Structure 1
Amino acid sequence: MERATIRDVARVAGVSVKTVSRVLNHERYVTDETRSRVTEAIAELNYRPNPAAQGLRRSTTGAIAFVCEDISEPFEAQIAGSIERAAADQYVVIVASTFGDPLRERTTIESLASGYADGIILSPTMGSKAYLHSLPRGIAVVCLDRPARDFESDLALSDNVGAMAWAVRHLLMRGHTRIAYLGDDVGVFTQQERLAGYRKALEEADIPFDKDLIYQHSPDDSRIRNHLAWLRQLRQPPTAHVSANSLTTLSMIHAGFFTGSATFIAFDDFPLADVLHGGVNAIAQDAGALGDEATRMLLRRMRNDTSPVRTTRLGAQLILRHDEGHGDT
């Protein structure tokens, strides 16, 4: 007969795994009636807690987690690698993707916190993260790339505003005043910051903001193809373009856009960007430094550091593989 699991207990008691964990750990915020149902289910199933999982609660199994939007996205994959390298001598790293689904994110994090990881580095989805306040005591959470709404934590992110402003200034200095901006969903924190950087550079140059030049939707090859065609038929079409993340850049490439030009800059470098179309100009975030910093923040909190939360912004590099009037660099 297979040994009963905590999920079996939760199913029989009609509660969440998180609630069963709270009962097992003698935590507050569980009603007497719920505690009684869980206790009865434990007795009925002859459930015995897994010693390894109990060890995790005491931070003895050496597991931390990186919960991101999509591990197949090049930038997130690079961060995952840097976290694994930074934690290699102390912890195994569990990586999970949310695919932008807040419910999947919550389910994943609550499962990890119930006996699989002692600390979590989170790249949050949109929406409130107030549920993080209910995680078991001792589970450390730090955020990476964007803050968590309604939850205060240490945060490591890039200088999105400054980096995008730098790229737009570069194009402005070369005579381009009609610069198209193609970005991800408007609700994404990094996209808000990058659009702010775009607008900042235009304002500095006294160039009016033109909403006709702005695209902000989840990357979709067909939709971007149609938008690029629409931009070309404008009375004053753009003479330069910037993209706001690597997924948008890849959708532009799939849509037939030529990226090997001095008039295009991609936010986020990506594999083969140095050879595709003769090279792609790109803003390269320092994934290694971001992963290192987030890991250091997490390990400090796991060692019971109670100092005030802090935000660290790291710079990015503008890589010019094509630069009109100045030769390739």
Structure 2
Amino acid sequence: MSTMRDVARVAGVSAKTVSRVMNNDRYVSDDVRARVLQAVDELQYVPNVMARSFRSGQDAAIGVAVPAVTGFFGYVVEAVERIARDRGVAMYLTCLGEDPDGEQAAVEALLARNVVGLLLAPVADDQSYLKPWRERTSMVFLDRRPRKLSAAYVVHDDNGGTRLAITHLLDHGHRRIAFAGDSITVPTTARRRTTYELTLFDGGVGMDPFLVSWGAHRVPVVPRLLALPDPPTAIFSANPSCSMPIVRQLHAAGRSEIVVLGFGDFPMADALTPPVSVVEQDPTELGNQAAQRLFRRIDEPDKRLPRQVVLPVTLVRRGCCQRARMGPAA
């Protein structure tokens, strides 16, 4: 069976150029593309992911398991699907929901389809069940690091983004900063909660446990916070699913002077009054990076590759972080 190096030799180009042509890179010239494709045809070259599937009896397909297929993870899945389609690889998708007890069964059902690779955003706190599968299936975790399993992952900088947000609020005079998250069992939320406390401490502010709320994506948390003897002047939200209901609750209570700063952008955040500043993530880039790394591991299973990739985030200031006020607005 011909290899990529054979194609490169016949076409008179580098193996990297062959890879770019096979991945439909638009920056390859027409002449080079034609030479490579002619060599591919002459040698009857099959890309590695397909060749591996022929040798192992596995499908030329990857599996993707994420908590949801809308919002943030919807963009991630779209990016992965585009890269897989460009490579002529099918994609099986499963939605894990929020049930950690159901993760193993759902993921193993996906792996039972003989996929050559797996992209996983876990919801459980233990992925050791995947150890028997690693020998035959390449794996990359996305958005969330694996637990009790050594594996490659691509994540956003949760710690750096949270530090940016809390420091920004402290610099604007806020000292009563609440934290609102979905669940401490979600790894990204747990990291943001820890960094929230550490950044307050570094700023000379002790954390008040009464300012921490969980389940903010499902139950109203603003009424309890406003009822405190010393309510917050700002709320840091761990993700968009918490940010949107918090903003609605504050507007309903007539307390729009309380600042909301969220991790992750959400629709209409820039059009609200006041607009909501956010720590901006790029779910499309997350999906691109995770898929590219998965296919590289499939193509080069014996090569030592970087295990972790941490993507940068940015603080988008939209003018909502006014100076802290003492007491409710008049």
The within-5 A match list for 1:40-51 is none
CA distance in 2, matches of 1:255, 1:95: 34
CA distance in 2, matches of 1:98, 1:146: 14
Which residue in the other structure is 2:237 paired with? 243
Shift of 1:244: 0.2
Q: Which of 138, 141, 164 lines up with 1:140 in the alignment?
A: 138
Paired letter, 2:180: L
Preserved CA contact (<8 Å) 1:179 1:240: yes
DSSP 3-state at the match of 1:168: helix
CA distance in 1, matches of 2:86, 2:136: 21
Shift of 1:172: 1.0
Which residue in the other structure is 2:267 paired with? 271
Which residue in the other structure is 2:246 paired with? 252
Which residue in the other structure is 2:200 paired with? 202
DSSP 3-state at the match of 1:265: strand
Paired letter, 1:322: G
CA distance in 2, matches of 1:171, 1:106: 40
Q: Which of 94, 97, 103 lines up with 1:96 in the alignment?
A: 94
Preserved CA contact (<8 Å) 1:57 1:118: no
Preserved CA contact (<8 Å) 1:260 1:278: yes
Paired letter, 2:314: Q
Shift of 1:217: 3.0
CA distance in 1, matches of 2:226, 2:199: 23
Segment of structure 1 superposing worse, 83-92 or 242-251: 83-92
Which residue in the other structure is 1:48 paired with? none
Aligned sequence identity (%): 27
Which residue in the other structure is 1:151 paired with? 149
Q: Residues 262, 252 of structure 1: CA spacing in aligned structure 2 closer, same or farther, 3 A cutoff?
A: closer
CA distance in 2, matches of 1:245, 1:260: 19
Which residue in the other structure is 1:292 paired with? 288
Preserved CA contact (<8 Å) 2:280 2:315: yes
Preserved CA contact (<8 Å) 1:286 1:315: no
TM-score, L = length of structure 2: 0.73
Shift of 1:272: 2.9
DSSP 3-state at the match of 2:86: coil
Segment of structure 1 superposing worse, 84-93 or 185-194: 84-93
Preserved CA contact (<8 Å) 1:75 1:287: yes
Between the two proteins, the alignment pairs up a number of residues equal to 269
CA distance in 1, matches of 2:57, 2:110: 13
CA distance in 2, matches of 1:57, 1:207: 60
Paired letter, 2:122: P
Preserved CA contact (<8 Å) 2:117 2:298: yes
Q: Residues 65, 278 of structure 1: CA spacing in aligned structure 2 closer, same or farther, 3 A cutoff?
A: farther
Which residue in the other structure is 1:46 paired with? none
Q: Which of 225, 237, 262 lines up with 1:231 in the alignment?
A: 225
Structure 2: give runs of 5+ residues left out of the alignment: 1-51, 324-330
Preserved CA contact (<8 Å) 2:65 2:120: yes
Paired letter, 1:316: V
Paired letter, 2:223: A
Segment of structure 1 superposing worse, 153-162 or 262-271: 262-271
Segment of structure 1 superposing worse, 76-85 or 307-316: 307-316
**Is 2:113 the counterpart of 1:119?**
no
**Is 2:278 the counterpart of 1:282?**
yes
Preserved CA contact (<8 Å) 1:260 1:322: no
RMSD of the alignment, in Å?
A: 2.7
DSSP 3-state at the match of 1:185: coil
Q: Residues 57, 103 of structure 1: CA spacing in aligned structure 2 closer, same or farther, 3 A cutoff?
A: farther
**Is 2:181 the counterpart of 1:183?**
yes
CA distance in 2, matches of 1:59, 1:312: 31
Shift of 1:268: 0.8
Which residue in the other structure is 2:106 paired with? 108
Preserved CA contact (<8 Å) 1:152 1:309: no
Preserved CA contact (<8 Å) 2:84 2:91: yes
**Deviation per CA, 1:184-230, whole angstroms, max 9, x where unpaired?**
2112211121012212221221111111111123621xx3x2x3112
Paired letter, 1:67: A
Shift of 1:306: 4.2
Q: Residues 255, 278 of structure 1: CA spacing in aligned structure 2 closer, same or farther, 3 A cutoff?
A: closer
DSSP 3-state at the match of 1:242: strand
Structure 1: give runs of 5+ residues left out of the alignment: 1-53
Shift of 1:145: 1.2
CA distance in 2, matches of 1:257, 1:62: 51
Shift of 1:117: 2.3
CA distance in 2, matches of 1:250, 1:317: 20
CA distance in 2, matches of 1:179, 1:63: 46
